[in-house]
Amino acid sequence: MSADPRQHPIVRSVGRVLPDHHVDQETLIAVFRELWSGQHYNPARLEDLHRAVGVKGRHLALPLSRYAELRGFARCNDAWIPAAVDLGERAVRDALARAGIAPADVDHLYFVTVTGIATPSVDARLVNRLRMKPTVKRTPIFGLGCVAGATGLTRAADALRAYPGEVAVLLSVELCSLTLQRDDLSVANLIASGLFGDGAAAVVLEGGARPPGPGPRVLASRSSFYPDTERVMGWDVVEGGFKVVLSSSVPEEVRARLGGDVDHFLGDLGLSRGRIRHWIAHTGGPKVLQACEAALELPEGALERSWRSLSEVGNLSSASVLFVLGELLDSGEARPGDLGLLLAMGPGFCAELVLLQW
Give the model's pLDDT for residue 5. Answer: 62
Domain boundaries, the chain: 6-206, 215-357
Largest CA distance in the chain: 64
- Average of per-residue pLDDT across 131-145: 97
Q: Rounded to whole angstroms, how far apart are CA atoms 351 and 24?
A: 31
Q: Rounded to whole angstroms, how far apart are CA atoms 319 and 282?
A: 9
Res. 41 pLDDT band, cuts 50 70 90: low
Q: Rounded to whole angstroms, how far apart are CA atoms 114 and 148?
A: 9
Percent of the chain with pLDDT over 90: 78
**Superfamily, domain 6-206:** Thiolase/Chalcone synthase (3.40.47.10)
Pairing mode of beta strands 350-357, 217-225: antiparallel
Res. 191 pLDDT band, cuts 50 70 90: confident
Q: Rounded to whole angstroms, how far apart are CA atoms 128 and 113?
A: 19
76, 146, 176, 292: which is the annotated catalytic residue?
Answer: 146
- Average of per-residue pLDDT across 138-155: 97
Does residue 292 have an active-site annotation? no
Q: From residue 265, how far is each of 23, 47, 345 by CA, in Å? A: 40, 40, 15
Q: Rounded to whole angstroms, how far apart are CA atoms 318 and 320?
A: 6
- pLDDT tens-digit series, residues 78-122: 999 999 999 999 999 999 999 999 999 999 999 999 999 999 999
- For the cut 60, the answer to whether the pLDDT of residue 44 exceeds it is yes
215-357 CATH: 3.40.47.10
Number of residues in the chain: 358
Give the model's pLDDT for residue 35. Answer: 81
Q: From residue 231, how far is each of 37, 118, 245, 250, 292 by CA, in Å? A: 28, 25, 7, 10, 21
Q: Rounded to whole angstroms, how far apart are CA atoms 324 and 16?
A: 10
pTM: predicted TM-score of the whole model, two decimal places: 0.95
Q: Which residue has the higher pLDDT, 36 or 127?
A: 127
Pairing mode of beta strands 350-357, 339-346: antiparallel
Do residues 235 and 329 lie in contact, with contact meaning Cβ atoms separated by under 8 Å? no
User: 215-357: same fold as 6-206?
Assistant: yes
- pLDDT tens-digit series, residues 261-295: 999 999 999 999 999 999 999 999 999 999 999 99
Res. 49 pLDDT band, cuts 50 70 90: confident
- Comparing 42-46, 196-200, 231-235, the range with the smallest average pLDDT is 42-46
- Comparing 1-5, 149-153, 172-176, 226-230, the range with the smallest average pLDDT is 1-5
Q: Collapsing DSSP states into helix, strand and coil, what is residue 257?
A: helix
DSSP string, 197-249: -EEEEEEEEE-TTSPP-SS-EEEEEEEEE-TT-TTSEEEEEETTEEEEEE-TT
- pLDDT tens-digit series, residues 207-266: 999 988 899 999 999 999 999 998 988 888 888 889 898 888 899 999 999 999 999 999
